[in-house]
Structure 1
Amino acid sequence: MILSTLGRYFFKRYIVTTFWFLIGIFALIFIIDFSELASRMSALPHYTVSGALLMTTFRIPTILQQTVPFVALFSAMAALISLNRRYELVVTRAAGISVWQFLRPFVLGAFLVGVLAVVALNPLAAWGTKRAEALEAEWGSSRSAQSNSIPWLRQIYDGTDTIIGARSVQNGGTELINVTVIHFDPQGTIILRQDAKSAKLEDGYWLLKGVTESGNGRLPRRLETVQLRTNLKADFVQERLAKADSIQFFDLPHKIDVARSFGFSTDAMETQLHSLLSLPLLLVAMTLIAACVSLKFSRFNQSRSVILGGILSGFVLYVVTVLVKAFGSSGIVPPFVAAWLPVVVAMALGSTILLHQEDG
């Protein structure tokens, strides 16, 4: 069926519908995100309209990949309802082709869209996020798009205990913005504080720029650069500060191995990896849900309650997927179970409902 003329026609209809949905969502995200950026960052010293347009472009893939499951749901519903209204599915059924046969092109299309989202959109989103953060830092913003909490690191080098904090992180944690470094003596008393505009982890030291030093009993002094000796390695810092959803798909297996070697929890990264691996099947589940509410023939007006039920079902599936993913990231549920269980259950329910509707 998939390679037949009718199968290719259905496949093309689904892909074209998905493409136009993506274009529409892209435009909507661009307008909304640009407006939000302009209102939030227009007061920054180095803000420009062209820069805001560029940053919005960098941020779009990250936002767009969150909408992919809904794109699959709405595309399948729109394509199937359109085919129904034109009697094309009626003729297909009359020719003796079952629902399981003519749904194969839609399922294949959803699966391929999911694969493209994993291997193309996800790496692009990770790259765009880094570029957007770098551009935001150049504008002088102290906010971080990567972390909602202030990251802190502790190091002990040559008997000196040092705590390093920052308002935001870049490049997986090897570059810090608006840095505070606090030095302690062996008795735990603060002996020196350094405030820097930025810090970059080099080979064996942190390079602080735009530093203001202050200590007990002395006036603050300003320094252009300061080298802070460290025994922290780039891999360690990246695993300590980087968020799982900011790591691209192809880097996740290596990052998981590195995190394990340092003794860090890998639940968040493993959950992210399995979530990306299960994304194509999640889109297949969304397609089955769309089929459950779109295959009933209606020439002029599809039942609004049925369509609304399909949309709500897809939304509930997405919310459950995100919720269980959060449980997996925190270690409450095994990562494999957290990523795959909602998808498998949704596919089983969708198939069961279709069996009941079509085969009694």
Structure 2
Amino acid sequence: MTMFGVLSRYLIRQNLYLMAICLSVGTCIYLLSDVFDRLDDFIRAGLGAETILFYFFVKIPLIVSQLMPAIFLLAMVIQLGVLSRSKEMLALRAGGVSFAWFIRFFLLYAIIWSFGQLVFSQFLGVFGEVEANRIWKEDVRNKQIDELSIKGLWFRDGPFIVYADAAHPAKSRADNVTVYEFATDNQELIRILTAKKALIDDNGWGLLDVHELDTRTFVSQERTSQFLSVRQNLKAYAAVELKGDKAQLPLLELTQAIKKLEESGSNVEILKTVWHGKWSYAFSMAVMALLALMLATLSENVYANIGFSLILIFVQYGVHVVGATAGEKGVLPPFLAAWMGNIVMGGAASLRLLWVAMPGFSVTVKSWFGRA
């Protein structure tokens, strides 16, 4: 047990050192590419050096949270390659440390890192992304919050189904509104109201230039104004729209937005896929550990394994994107869609590791194929 404690600390120190180097290099490359891509826009906008430096500074936590799974894989591949090349792995195996122990150790180590990645990305990562987008939209692109407009908005609130061609949350106004009102005791449609404009406050929606059609008598009426007890104040929609990409919302805020939108009858499959995606992306570090261990069983050439690891990173990302797209389109359930990349890549790596670390597994598989 003492030996394993010493070995664990040694492996952790070695891994942290390699991760620090890889993360520093990766962050610098990312920042340099971003500087070359956006510096001209900052200069044309007439922004000072202080604003420009602050923009790139607040992006660092976002960059770190995005790169961590790939950095973890590269650090582990280098670490395992160095252990094999220096014959340390051979000496440990000869001393009674099985490869299964390395699998258990690095998998537990990666799971701990996954929780850290989740917390870091949902606090510092989200803060950096929000601040960077605010500077880019308001200072560089001059896109003010007051100009926010939501096109094709619809939702359900109590007996009302509401549709608006355009809604302006900051101005508490909606244009070209259609309201379908149903009886409270059943699903019978009782009237349809159309209005050129709606003014919104905490008490409800005030419709202006209203045309009402009673679907029971087919009698039409024209009114200057009409008040409806619609409680939807558009804050949940504004929270999503103002931050651009829905993936920018932190978990807690995203959970609340999903709940509010779901209660209003809106389709939240995309948001649910994003919610599960945050968890799956954080725990992709555990998958990266399995992939690194798998590569160590295939080759002891550290340079070849680094090349293979880069390919696996792109494959993992590709499968993740396919799954996320399927979830957003409703082809797959949100959970399965978000975790598909981890399931496919982690499952493939696990099978290889079971084959190597558990002789009984390989014997069983061979016997199955022999019978077939």
* Shared fold, TM over 0.5: yes
Answer with 1 or 2: which has the greater Rg: 2
Q: Secondary structure at the match of 2:44?
A: coil
Q: Is 1:38 aligned to 2:39, yes or no?
A: yes
User: Residues 181, 33 of structure 1: CA spacing in aligned structure 2 closer, same or farther, 3 A cutoff?
Assistant: farther
* Aligned residues of 1:294 and 1:307 also touching (Cα < 8 A): no
In structure 2, the residue matched to 1:21 is 22
In structure 2, the residue matched to 1:273 is 275
| Matched AA of 2:12 | F
- Report the Cα offset of residue 37 of structure 1: 2.1
Residues 234-262 of structure 1, C-alpha deviations (whole Å, 9 max, x = no match): 43433663542011023232222111111
| Matched AA of 2:52 | A
TM-score by length of structure 1 reads: 0.71
The 1-side partners of 2:174 and 2:256 are apart by 30
| Mapping 1:293-304, distance limit 5 Å | 293-295=295-297, 298=300, 302=301, 304=303
The 1-side partners of 2:203 and 2:135 are apart by 27
| Matched AA of 2:331 | I
Runs of 4+ in 1 over 4 A off after TM superposition: 161-166, 180-184, 188-191, 201-205, 295-298, 303-307
Gaps of 5+ in 1: 156-160, 167-173, 192-200, 206-229
* Aligned residues of 2:273 and 2:327 also touching (Cα < 8 A): yes
The 2-side partners of 1:336 and 1:136 are apart by 32
Residues 266-305 of structure 1, C-alpha deviations (whole Å, 9 max, x = no match): 212211222222334321111111112224675xxx1755
- Report the Cα offset of residue 56 of structure 1: 1.6
Q: Secondary structure at the match of 2:37?
A: helix
User: Residues 279, 138 of structure 1: CA spacing in aligned structure 2 closer, same or farther, 3 A cutoff?
Assistant: closer
| Mapping 1:1-360, distance limit 5 Å | 4-45=5-46, 47-139=47-139, 141-142=141-142, 151-152=150-151, 164=166, 233-238=233-238, 241=241, 243-295=245-297, 298=300, 302=301, 304-358=303-357, 359=359
* Aligned residues of 1:183 and 1:190 also touching (Cα < 8 A): yes
- Report the Cα offset of residue 337 of structure 1: 0.7
Gaps of 5+ in 2: 155-162, 178-193, 205-229, 363-372
Q: Secondary structure at the match of 1:139?
A: helix
The 1-side partners of 2:327 and 2:350 are apart by 26
Residues 124-150 of structure 1, C-alpha deviations (whole Å, 9 max, x = no match): 222222222332344251469xxxx97
- Report the Cα offset of residue 334 of structure 1: 0.5
Q: In angstroms, what is the RMSD of aligned CA positions?
A: 3.9
The 2-side partners of 1:56 and 1:30 are apart by 7
Identity across matched positions, percent: 20
TM-score by length of structure 2 reads: 0.69
Number of aligned positions between the proteins: 308
The 1-side partners of 2:96 and 2:4 are apart by 17
